[in-house]
Amino acid sequence: MAVAGGERRGEGPPFHSGYTCNRCYLCPAQLKHRGVWRYHGDMAKLGLAGLLVLGLCVQRHEGAAYSYMKNGQQDWNLNEYKYTTYHPMSEISMWMEQVVKENPGLVSSEVYGKTFEGKNITLLKIGLQSGSKKKAVWMDCGIHAREWIAPAFCQWFVKEILRTYETDEHLNLMLKNVDIYVTPVLNVDGYEVSLANLNGLLAFQTRLWRKTRSKFQNAECDCYGTDLNRNFYANWGTVGISEDCCSQIYCGPRPLSEVEAQAVTDFVGSRSADILCFLTIHSYGQLILVPYGHPQIAAPNYDELVKKEERERERKGERMRVGLAAAEAIKSVHGMNYTVGTSPDVLYPNSGSSRDWARLWGIPFSFTFELRDKGEHGFELPEDQIQPACEEAYAGAHSIIRYVHDKEFGITTTTSVPITTPSAATATVALWTTILACSLTAATIL
Ligand SMILES: [Zn+2]
């Protein structure tokens, strides 16, 4: 059941914030990032000695969220929020509250599910009041815990809309026709593990945690977590998965065994007729993936799909064109190349992804973004790349949203209509397939 947001106020340890240390290698830090040690754990677990060591060498983050937490005050504003750093969940939650507070009539929040550990899964709904029934766009970030640039992007995306919607006439029109649902962090449990110190000072490195944190009774395996992006009801358990619960790509004991996947399925599924496009944000690889992840699609409604084969082929061409237009928009910002195609063509086959589920459920446009980079830093993208990565990804997402909006509402004056022909699109995919075969290793699970 949906309840009002804001329940996280006051939760969490009061000093669970970012501390950086540039000069002392005795710091009880768990995360090394570009030569900077950072402690994101629970201060209460450190003990007196740990606090003394930390106190000798840390430099406190300059951040509004920190002072908010420290002083228990609510007098900070969004202008003080730093979008070019990676934030722990507690700060992202406060950021969401502040976005709602400072933008009444434009942004509201909704808790639409609970994680395995009982934490809120919260989205922001962005849209202007309209007399008529509105369409919607979906975006989720942070389905895989270690892909930190994704939650950073969702925050950037919201910030950019707030910054420009009053002066950008077309964006203003879109927000009157469409509500945009943004989930900054879907896999909250996993994200906190990736950012935190699990077991005190001697904890093993948890930075690269990917999965949820579920553990099922009667399970014969001791490992935690399921790959959320293998757990949706879309050819579940067929290709690109593992049945070993210790695997990074464990698909779970059954489809939708994960409450996080169930929450998205319930929320989006009940509104699917109105949702124009479904965007799910990951890293890394600089890809825009279109359905499907299964090389020979075998959906529950397979017969029906076969009858619609021809129409589907047309749509597939359209999705490719829309994806290629987004890649062009991305390239125009900082010159970065993004590859467009199906997962089997440009990455690897998989099943049970949210992107495929959304498409099977009838949402016409469904894309996975794999943000920067191409493997140099991988999941540990340095903070100095947050801004350019988000700037270009915003252009790509905006291109897609603009296209689906203009198509739905019959607007023809847009400059975002893709110009690439289907045949050129096919040729491009074939080219990139060849190039990528050389650059991506099978061991990289994104
Ligand atoms: Zn991912």
- pLDDT at residue 294, as a whole number: 85
Cα of 433 vs centre of ligand 1, distance in Å, is 20
Q: Which pLDDT belongs to residue 317?
A: 84
Q: Which helix (H) or strand (E) holds 340?
A: strand 339-342
Where does the pLDDT of residue 196 fall: very low under 50, low under 70, confident under 90, or very high at 90 and above?
confident
* C-alpha of residue 70 to centroid of ligand 1, in Å: 33
Ligand 1 centroid to 318 CA: how many Å?
25
> Kind of pairing, strands 107-114 and 3-4?
antiparallel
> For residues 28 and 399, what is the distance between their CA atoms, to the nearest angstrom?
44
Tell me the mean pLDDT in the region 384-397: 98
Going from the C-alpha of 233 to that of each of 108, 228, 282, the distances in angstroms are 29, 11, 19
Question: What CA–CA distance (Å, rounded) separates 418 from 439?
Answer: 28
Residue indicated by tokens 């925050």: 155
Cα(283) to ligand 1 centroid in Å equals 6
Instruction: State the pLDDT at residue 430.
Output: 43
Which positions are annotated as active-site residues? 370
How far is the C-alpha of 241 from the C-alpha of 247, rounded, in Å? 9
* Interacting residues of 125 by C-beta distance below 8 A, sequence separation 6+: 107, 108, 109, 110, 179, 180, 181
pLDDT tens digits, one per residue of 331-367: 999 999 999 999 998 999 999 999 999 999 999 999 9
Give the pairing type, strands 107-114 and 36-39: unpaired
Instruction: Quick: pLDDT tens for 267-303.
Output: 999 999 999 999 999 999 999 999 999 887 644 444 5
Q: How far is the CA of 282 from the centre of ligand 1 (A)?
A: 4
Give 250 Cα–ligand 1 centroid separation in angstroms. 13
Tell me, in angstroms, the distance from the centre of ligand 1 to residue 359's CA.
Answer: 18
Q: Which two tokens stand for residue 111?
A: 């808790």
> Residue 294 and residue 240: Cα distance in Å, rounded?
9
HSE of 120 in the Cβ direction (CA atoms, 13 Å)? 27
What is the tens place of the pLDDT at every residue in 110-138?
999 999 999 999 999 999 998 889 999 99
Supply 412's token pair.
Answer: 């023809």
Whole-number Å distance, alpha carbon 45 to ligand 1 midpoint, is 30
Q: Specify whether the CB–CB gap between 380 and 295 falls below 8 A.
A: no
Task: Tell me the CA–centroid distance for residue 414 and ligand 1, in Å.
Answer: 32
* Dist CA 352 CA 237 (whole Å): 7
**Averaged pLDDT score across all residues of the chain:** 80
Ordered structural domains, the chain, with CATH: 188-439 (3.40.630.10)
Query: CA 110: distance to chain centroid?
Result: 17
**Do residues 185 and 151 make contact, with C-beta atoms less than 8 angstroms apart?**
yes
pTM of the model: 0.79
Q: How confident is the model at residue 43 (pLDDT cuts 50, 70, 90)?
A: low
Taking only the tens place, the pLDDT of each residue in 294-320 is 887 644 444 554 556 666 677 778 888
| Token pair of 282 as six digits | 């990951």
Q: How far is the CA of 426 from the centre of ligand 1 (A)?
A: 25
Ligand 1 centre to CA of 445 (Å) is 7
Beta carbons of 344 and 294 less than 8 angstroms apart = yes
Residues 6+ apart with CB under 8 A from 282: 143, 144, 147, 150, 229, 368, 369, 370, 371, 446
Region for residue 352 given its phi and psi (left: phi exceeds 0; alpha: psi -120 to 50; beta: otherwise) = left
